[in-house]
Each structure stands twice: as structure tokens, then as C-alpha cells.
Amino acid sequence: MLPDLVMSKVWKIGVAGLGTVGGGLVKYLVEHPGFAPAGGKAVVTGVCARSRSRPRDFDIATFDWYDDPVLLAQSPQTDIFVELIGGSDGPAKVAVEAALALGKPVVTANKALIAEHGAELARLAEAHGAPLLFEAAVMGGTPAVKMLREAMVGDEVISVAGILNGTCNYILTEMESHERAFADVLGEAQAKGYAEADPTMDIGGFDAAHKITILAALAFGCAPNYAAAEIEGVERVELLDIRLARELGYRIRLTASAEKAGDGISVRVHPALAPIAHPLSQTVGATNALFIKGVRIPRIFIQGPGAGEGPTAAACCADIADVMTGAVRPVFQKPATQLKTPKPIDAAHRTGQAYLRLMVRDEAGALAAVTEALAEAGVSIDSFLQKPVEDEGRVPIVLTTHEVAETKIMDAVTRLAALPQVLESPRLIRIARA
């Protein structure tokens, strides 16, 4: 039975950042202060944002206003500090540090902050007995963090992989379903608000890299190591590749993965081909999806909304409820003092399959030169597709490889690029594991 104090306590919530998520959270708590299953009330007492006068669909006059998020974090009227400002440094980081230093629980949706400074913040939080929770930082309202932080503690996680950026998934889905070029779909996504005016964080793969860095730390009980993530975005994905991949029985998705092998951990973001029947190929639009593989639990698949006012605010509420019930656990599965920075997996020990697209001269001997270069690199062909001549003197050749060491695939790309018959840099896209 829970103590009467837990069931009756009023928790004063300070919210820094009143954008889409912050606004959704405030509105929900105003309407449902007693939402937590264990009882007690969560009451917003103070707020902070860049502009006090900005039009909003809720009244901020009933809350204390703070121009400085640090003062909100330090206020005696704040029991739980919710950081929704964003950014890996600056006001967000300083305010979170201020709250933790006073032993105050922090709830954040700031993926960049946790991915880049998670280890030091974990040390600060645990030194002062303050919970640091970030369910909303990864996959919005889909409980990826809780799955790894809580549900998988009885197993050893081997890998996590999936689609963690809804903007890129929307773009790739639209390119395929409506035969539209990347730039055209990106412009529409910006107009609809799916992509930022500067879309670099999304289409460059950096947003997904922040998220998979966090999941890797939770999965493997290590310090987040964003600096070691290998990142490739979707900017170079062409409509031609989407068409050719479909002819080969695949769809292209931006995948994020973290894999453990021995003492090493690989954290990567890159476009990948997934078989059309694969759950990742069936994940369309702005939806997110994640596979978790363990020793005892071979495979878990979760799918759901990765962003948006309602889903992300709901994830923040789940963390607030955990604080209200007194849930205590290390930030990243192990005490912060025991967290180690993982070693990257040596590329020589990584294997995979790949899609290669070549634009070659339409002349005798071109195909023989390609196959010879692949053989010299130790790469064998799994499937092959040669398209009719589209431009005079140029013909696209597409092939997929068998499973092989990645170093051999990269050697093959180098050899192919050097061939006089190859007219432009080969296009390499990895093939997702089943």
C-alpha cells in the first residue's frame, strides 16, 4: 500500500519551453492534475519561454512567469523541473544542472542534451539523489526508453535498430508512393511543419543519431557516446535509387542501429534497404519503429508516433508519474560512477550486404570490368539488374552483394570508382538485417 503522503501530495511543476510539446503538457496538466495512478496531483506553478507575449491557445496568466529558466529550476515553487527548451548546450543545460544540483527531479525531452552530456548529468543527478528522466527524448509517445530501462533489465540486449526520425520517413515514403524528387518532398514537408526551415538535423541523420546514442547507453549500460556515432543522412537518396530498390524487392529507410559485439559497440545512422514485407518497410509516413533483440527475448518490435504535441507530452507525463511514485533507478542502467565510454567495433569485424548502383559507359567490356573489380575485392554478387540505356552512352547497373566484411565492400567501391568505364561515384546503400 502506498503511503498517504504519496497519494495526497501536490507536486509543483515548472515547465521551461512552451512550444508544441510544452504547450501540450501544460494544457493536459491543467485539465488532469490527478492523472498519476498512485494519486497525488501535478500542478503547473511556473513557466518560462522565449516570449511572454507570443499568442498561445492557453492562458499563462495563472502561472508564475520566469524569463530565466535557471530561476525557474531553482524556485522553491518548483518540485519537478520539466525542460523542453532544446539544444545540447546553453540555457537548457545550465537550467537542468541547476535543478539537479538542488536535488530536484528533472524531466526532459531534450535528446541532444542527453546524448551529448548524459554521462556528466547522470553523475550530477545521482550525486544529489535527483531522478533524471527522458522518455520523451526518443520516439515521442512510443515507450522505447522505458522498454530498455525497465522491461529489458532481466535480459541482455544484443542490438537495437529502427526508424527514429519521422521527417525522413515521411520524405522517403512520399518519394516512393508519389514518384517525387527529394527536394520537392522536402519543401512540402517544411510547408506542412514536418520539417524545420533548416532541416539539417533531420535529413542529415543527426536527430536519429542523438536518439540511438541514448538507446545504446540504456541497452548496454554504458556512457552515451554521440561523438563516436557514424552518421549518414538521406540527402543523397535519389528517386532513381528508390525505383531500382523497389524493382529488387526493397524500400529505402533511414535506419538507426546500435549493436554490441564483445567489448565493442557500433552506433550508426544511414539509409538502408529493407525487404518490402519487412516491418520497417511497412512503417510509413512520420511513424517510428524499433526492434530490440536480446539473449532470452529474441525480438521485440514497437511502433508508434515519434513526435507531436499529444504523444510527446504524454511521455513527459509518464516520467512525472514515475517521480510522483518515488521510482528510483540509475539513469543509464548502471550507477553513473561505473559508466564507461564504449569502444567502437572494428570495421574489419563488421559484415553486411550492400546495394551498389553504377553509371557506366554503354560499351563492350563494361560489365566484365565491374565483375572483375568486385572479384578482386572479394565481393560476390547476390542479385543483378541492368537497365536499358536512358541517356546516350550511359547505362545504370545495380547489384546487391552477399554478406561480406564491410572493409571488402568499401574496397570494392574504391576499385569501381577508379574504373574508366564508371562515369560517376558508385552509390552505396547498405541492406538492413532481417
Among all residues, which ones are annotated catalytic? 211
Give Cα separations from 242 to 37, 248, 252 (angstroms). Answer: 47, 10, 6
Q: What is the identity of the amino acid at 90?
A: G
Give the pairing type, strands 230-231 and 264-275. Answer: parallel
CA separation for the pair 342, 387 (Å, rounded): 44
The rounded distance, in Å, linking the Cα atoms of 278 and 303 is 13
Q: Enumerate residues 6+ apart whose C-beta is below 8 A from 37.
A: 321, 325
| Spatial contact of 331 and 391, defined as CB atoms under 8 Å apart | no
Task: Name residues whose C-beta falls within 8 Å of residue 97's C-beta, 6 or more positions apart in sequence.
Answer: 121, 124
Q: Residue-wise over 227-242: b if at least 16 C-beta within 10 A, else e? A: eebebbbbeebeebbb
Task: Report strand pairing: 230-231 vs 157-163.
Answer: unpaired
Q: For residues 157, 162, 166 and 169, what is the CA-based torsion angle, rounded to 10 degrees?
A: 180
- Return d(Cα 93, Cα 265) in angstroms, integer: 27
Rounded-to-integer distance, Cα 369 and Cα 371, Å:
6
Contact criterion met (CB below 8 Å) for 233 and 207: no
Amino acid in the structure at residue 183: A
Three-state secondary-structure class, residue 154: coil
Alpha-helical runs (H) found in 221-336: 239-247, 279-282, 309-324
